[in-house]
């Protein structure tokens, strides 16, 4: 379940990476990595 959520979120983030400017994309990606790690810890 958690892996599916992370995979879906990763797809959404990668879509955003192509649309957003570099700085915003980096911030989005960094915050996603942090939340993914937190989600894995508490899963």
Instruction: Report residue 37 as tokens.
Output: 């790690």
Report the 10 Å Cβ neighbour count for 39: 13
Q: Which domain holds residue 28?
A: 2-42
Distance CA 34, CA 12 (A): 16
Give the pTM: 0.41
Instruction: Give the torsion through C-alpha atoms of 27, 29, 32, 37, to 10 deg.
Output: -110
Question: What's the pLDDT at 28?
Answer: 78
- Residue spans of alpha helices (H) in the chain: 2-19, 22-42
Number of domains in the chain: 1
Distance CA 38, CA 22 (A): 24
Question: What's the pLDDT at 31?
Answer: 85
> How do residues 1-43 score in pLDDT, each as one tens digit?
678 887 888 887 777 666 656 777 778 788 888 888 888 887 6
């Amino acid at each position: 379940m958690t892996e599916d959520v992370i995979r879906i979120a990763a797809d959404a983030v990668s879509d955003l990476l192509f649309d957003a400017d570099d700085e915003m994309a980096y911030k989005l990606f960094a915050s996603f990595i942090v939340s993914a790690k937190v989600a894995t810890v508490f899963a």
